[in-house]
Chains A and B, each alone.
Chain A
């Protein structure tokens, strides 16, 4: 059975492991579990031998495509290579085997990791306070919005400050995070240069605005040149500025959100600091904050007293916890390892490499594809799949799979029709960028000559074109029991 699930394998009674005989007298399991908590029928479990089990999952693993298999230019996601040294360090038994409830004096090393990483991240952001707890970017956003809320509550302004402003080039999760906390979202249009329209911003600002959520550089890969004017206008109106740090790879070590006027900034360690990403996570989205927001940060905070580290829970204005314990600790270990191995100079080279790679590819590809905002980009750029006859961006993306590349992000940002959002990252050699550009050029040629090749793609992947519409309309989330 080549493509089935594990339930298609094995036979009743077959086992992957044989257990030694019991040394204690056997008790009927049912006698130990009260009747009211028992399920009505036994669970449906696969019954397979060990080789069947191993071969099944190895086969699935070989069908997978990750950044270790090839180029993965997924815009906005910063799919950079994850150095294997960091994996090794995170697996050290002294880290991997820790229990989160061990007494402070027995985990001084782990607390030192949290403290040191906090200090580095605060320095990189140029901001005085931090929480390492949030488990992802959107979680950082939610934490940031909770901090905004508590700040205005404390000042007695929460009743009237009900709006969050959002440029239409911001990350898709931003409006959801603001709405989740109870703010009303107001969209601010971009100007023809692809940045925030200052006049529209001024018109929207007022006593009812809690703040703005900015993505810098924005989802077009364009730096907000008037960022200082933007944050000043918001601050003058009594609002706060949230910076989405998903695109930090564009200016790591070159500029600091704190200097640009950020009040909350989230890091995506799984993007910028090369910790595993996507299905391989978990992620980490620490937030740094400006001075006025420090009292509201989640508890506990790691503090250093002399040479000792301690967890501080005594913060009466805190919004509380946003994650069990201290965040995704082993992800934090990897990020610290990345920072320490690259060092000051290496971290600055990251952003140079990322911006250079993006501009190199952009200049190559704009000869073949429409580039709606043709200007110097930062770490990513957005092409349009328009103008290739009946072929649409989805078809281009599917055809790229046949050429052995992971497709870029498509149909985002929404302000570019048929968008292809490409982020090469700094970890790809020039030959890979050239090979990707060559594939994109061939695909454009195929679109004119033989559009069916694209319409029916992928041809070479383990599965052909999937019916995404049917999957969304009639989702089957559970294998039906035979």
Chain B
């Protein structure tokens, strides 16, 4: 459940480059650890963030997960479907469960992302 074509952060987020922008969500592993997700707090469209800044929170019946900016940039779109259907993050974390789209202003900051094999090793190590 770790798609080969995506990049990953150490905080269990996936990052998908889409010409100058990146789409961000949480991984299958993250949603499984959190359990049933009941609420997603989305950022304002247009919000400017720096790398590592808190962008969204994902709340489950047992814990609250935080989603950070993988690079500095501006929030272009948010997945407002999550407001009424937070369970999409559980059902389809890499597809309909995406969280926000970020216009990256410092593309160099994306270089330390993990590839699928690197992320698989991270999950294995924490298992």
Q: Residues on A close to B: CB < 8 A? A: 394, 410-411, 414, 468-469, 472-473
The yes or no answer to B38 lying at the interface (CB within 8 A) is: yes
B86 to chain A, nearest CB (A): 6
A468 to chain B, nearest CB (A): 5
Q: Once bound together, how far apart are the Cα atoms of A472 and B62, in whole Å? A: 11
In the complex, what residues of B have CB within 8 A of residue A472's CB? 36, 38-39, 61
The yes or no answer to B81 lying at the interface (CB within 8 A) is: no
In contact, A411 and B62 (Cβ under 8 angstroms): yes
B67 to chain A, nearest CB (A): 16
Q: Once bound together, how far apart are the Cα atoms of A394 and B62, in whole Å? A: 10
Q: Once bound together, how far apart are the Cα atoms of A473 and B36, in whole Å? A: 10
Q: B62: nearest residue on chain A (CB-CB)?
A: A411
The yes or no answer to B123 lying at the interface (CB within 8 A) is: no
Interchain CB contact (< 8 A) of B36 among A410, A411, A468:
A468
In the complex, what residues of B have CB within 8 A of residue A468's CB? 36, 61
Q: A473: nearest residue on chain B (CB-CB)?
A: B38
A150 to chain B, nearest CB (A): 28
Q: Once bound together, how far apart are the Cα atoms of A473 and B38, in whole Å? A: 5
The yes or no answer to B120 lying at the interface (CB within 8 A) is: no
In contact, B36 and A469 (Cβ under 8 angstroms): yes
In the complex, what residues of A have CB within 8 A of residue B60's CB? 469
Interchain CB contact (< 8 A) of A411 among B37, B39, B63, B87:
B63
Q: B36: nearest residue on chain A (CB-CB)?
A: A469
Q: Once bound together, how far apart are the Cα atoms of A469 and B36, in whole Å? A: 6
In the complex, what residues of A have CB within 8 A of residue B38's CB? 469, 472-473
Q: Once bound together, how far apart are the Cα atoms of A192 and B78, in whole Å? A: 39
Q: Once bound together, how far apart are the Cα atoms of A468 and B39, in whole Å? A: 13
In the complex, what residues of A have CB within 8 A of residue B62's CB? 394, 410-411
In the complex, what residues of A have CB within 8 A of residue B87's CB? 469, 473
B52 to chain A, nearest CB (A): 13
In the complex, what residues of B have CB within 8 A of residue A473's CB? 38-39, 86-87
Pull 9 A–B residue pairs with CB atoms less than 8 Å apart, ordered by A.
A410-B62, A411-B62, A411-B63, A469-B60, A472-B38, A472-B39, A472-B61, A473-B39, A473-B86
Q: Once bound together, how far apart are the Cα atoms of A472 and B86, in whole Å? A: 11
Q: B37: nearest residue on chain A (CB-CB)?
A: A469
In the complex, what residues of B have CB within 8 A of residue A394's CB? 62
Q: Once bound together, how far apart are the Cα atoms of A394 and B61, in whole Å? A: 11
In the complex, what residues of A have CB within 8 A of residue B63's CB? 411, 414
B80 to chain A, nearest CB (A): 16
Known: A411-B63, A469-B35, A469-B87. 10 other contacts (CB 8 A): A414-B63, A468-B61, A469-B36, A469-B37, A469-B38, A469-B60, A472-B36, A472-B39, A473-B38, A473-B87
Q: Once bound together, how far apart are the Cα atoms of A469 and B87, in whole Å? A: 9
Q: Once bound together, how far apart are the Cα atoms of A472 and B35, in whole Å? A: 13
Question: In chain B, residues 43-97, which have Cβ atoms closer than 8 Å to a Cβ of chain A?
Answer: 60-63, 86-87
Counting chain B CB atoms within 10 Å of each CB, the highest count among A394, A414, A469 belongs to A469
A183 to chain B, nearest CB (A): 15
Q: Once bound together, how far apart are the Cα atoms of A414 and B38, in whole Å? A: 18
Q: A393: nearest residue on chain B (CB-CB)?
A: B62
In the complex, what residues of B have CB within 8 A of residue A411's CB? 62-63
Q: Once bound together, how far apart are the Cα atoms of A472 and B37, in whole Å? A: 9
Q: Once bound together, how far apart are the Cα atoms of A219 and B60, in whole Å? A: 21
Q: Once bound together, how far apart are the Cα atoms of A473 and B86, in whole Å? A: 8
Q: A469: nearest residue on chain B (CB-CB)?
A: B36
- B15-57 to A contact mask, C-beta < 8 Å, 1/0: 0000000000000000000011111000000000000000000
In the complex, what residues of B have CB within 8 A of residue A410's CB? 62
Q: Once bound together, how far apart are the Cα atoms of A410 and B62, in whole Å? A: 8
B118 to chain A, nearest CB (A): 22
B30 to chain A, nearest CB (A): 13
Q: B126: nearest residue on chain A (CB-CB)?
A: A417
Q: Once bound together, how far apart are the Cα atoms of A414 and B34, in whole Å? A: 11
Q: A472: nearest residue on chain B (CB-CB)?
A: B38
Q: Once bound together, how far apart are the Cα atoms of A394 and B60, in whole Å? A: 13
Question: Top 9 closest A-B pairs, CB basis?
Answer: A469-B36, A472-B38, A411-B62, A468-B61, A473-B38, A469-B61, A469-B38, A472-B61, A411-B63
